[in-house]
A and B are shown apart, each in its own frame.
Chain A
Amino acid sequence: KNEVEQSPQNLTAQEGEFITINCSYSVGISALHWLQQHPGGGIVSLFMLSSGKKKHGRLIATINIQEKHSSLHITASHPRDSAVYICAVDTDKLIFGTGTRLQVFP
Chain B
Amino acid sequence: GAGVSQSPSNKVTEKGKDVELRCDPISGHTALYWYRQSLGQGLEFLIYFQGNSAPDKSGLPSDRFSAERTGGSVSTLTIQRTQQEDSAVYLCASSFTGGAAGEQFFGPGTRLTVL
Contacts and interface: CB of A to CB of B under 8 A. Distances in A.
A17 B73 CA distance: 44
B56 A92 contact: yes
A45 B42 contact: no
Interface in B96-115: 99-100, 103-106, 108-109, 111
A43 B106 contact: yes
Interface of A: 30-31, 33, 35, 41-45, 48, 50, 86, 88, 90, 92-99
> Ordered nearest first, which 10 A-B pairs have the shortest CB separation?
A30-B100, A43-B106, A96-B43, A31-B100, A98-B42, A93-B45, A96-B42, A48-B103, A90-B100, A45-B103
B92 to A, nearest CB: 11
A93 B108 contact: no
B106 A90 contact: no
Contacts of B48: 93
Interface footprint category on B: 20 to 34
Interface of B: 33, 35, 41-45, 48, 56, 58-59, 89, 91, 93, 99-100, 103-106, 108-109, 111
Contacts of A88: 43
A45 B105 contact: yes
B99 A96 contact: no
A45 B104 contact: yes
28 contacts: A30-B99, A31-B100, A35-B106, A41-B108, A42-B106, A42-B109, A43-B91, A43-B106, A44-B106, A45-B103, A45-B105, A48-B103, A50-B100, A86-B42, A86-B43, A93-B33, A93-B45, A93-B58, A93-B59, A94-B33, A94-B45, A94-B104, A96-B42, A96-B43, A96-B44, A97-B42, A98-B42, A99-B42
A56 to B, nearest CB: 12
B53 to A, nearest CB: 12
